[in-house]
Amino acid sequence: MRALAVTALVLFTIACGSKKDPPAAGSAEPPKGSTEPPKADPGSAAAGTGSAPGSAAAGSGSADVGSAAGSDAGSGSAIAAGSGSADTGFNFDKLTHDQKMDFMKKQVVPKMKPMFQKFDAKEFANFGCKTCHGKDPAKTKYEMPSKDVPALDFAALKAGKQKPEMAKWMSDVVKPEMAKLLNEPEYSDTNPKGFGCTHCHTVKK
């Protein structure tokens, strides 16, 4: 009888020893031998979810900014570089004939036409290439200054005797805007090589 009790006790001890503790709550480890994939810890999952969209947003934003910057920088230079906001290295004189034509059509005319027509709608009703380049721009190869544009008499201008209102408007509005479009400094006493009146007008002798 005693031997039977000892045997039962031994078997009970072996059975208890072979049992495995259940995994702790929240543990990511599955029981050994299980084919079930590890379960993500809720805390980790939340952190991962938060960080993934954050990274994606940052990556996407960086990509957009990068591509936009690259696209703008490389897009040519011939068309948009004359915005004049800063020195972009744009040089109108170094453009090909076709690039100059494209720049004039897409940048200069759309900007200057409404300005001229606002000043005098009747006189500049047909604002275009001929307004600044003369009667036959193709024949003169768009040479500037044009002999067909009124010659300037600086003595008369100084005395206020040559269309003073237009002269002031040209000096205050047209000259700085064209300098900006061409990415050039304006003419001044300290910078006589800047963009000024004689770029478009001949001088009366």
Contacts 24+ apart (CB under 8 A), 131-140: 132/200
What pLDDT is stored for residue 205 in this prediction? 84
Listed by start position, the domains of the chain span 78-199
Res 89: pLDDT: 85
Q: Which residue has the higher pLDDT, 20 or 62?
A: 20
Task: Please tell me the predicted confidence (pLDDT) of residue 87.
Answer: 59
CA angle 29–35–37, rounded 5-degree value: 50
Poorest-confidence range of 14-18, 109-113, 125-129?
A: 14-18
Residue 99's pLDDT is: 97
- Kindly report, residue by residue over 79-113, the tens digit of the pLDDT: 444 444 445 789 999 999 999 999 999 999 999 99
Confidence of residue 61 (pLDDT cuts 50, 70, 90): very low
Residues 6+ apart with CB under 8 A from 149: 132, 134, 200, 201, 202
Structure tokens at 58: 């940052």
- Say whether pLDDT at 45 is over 70: no
Average pLDDT over residues 176-184: 96
d(CA 173, CA 112) in angstroms, rounded, equals: 10
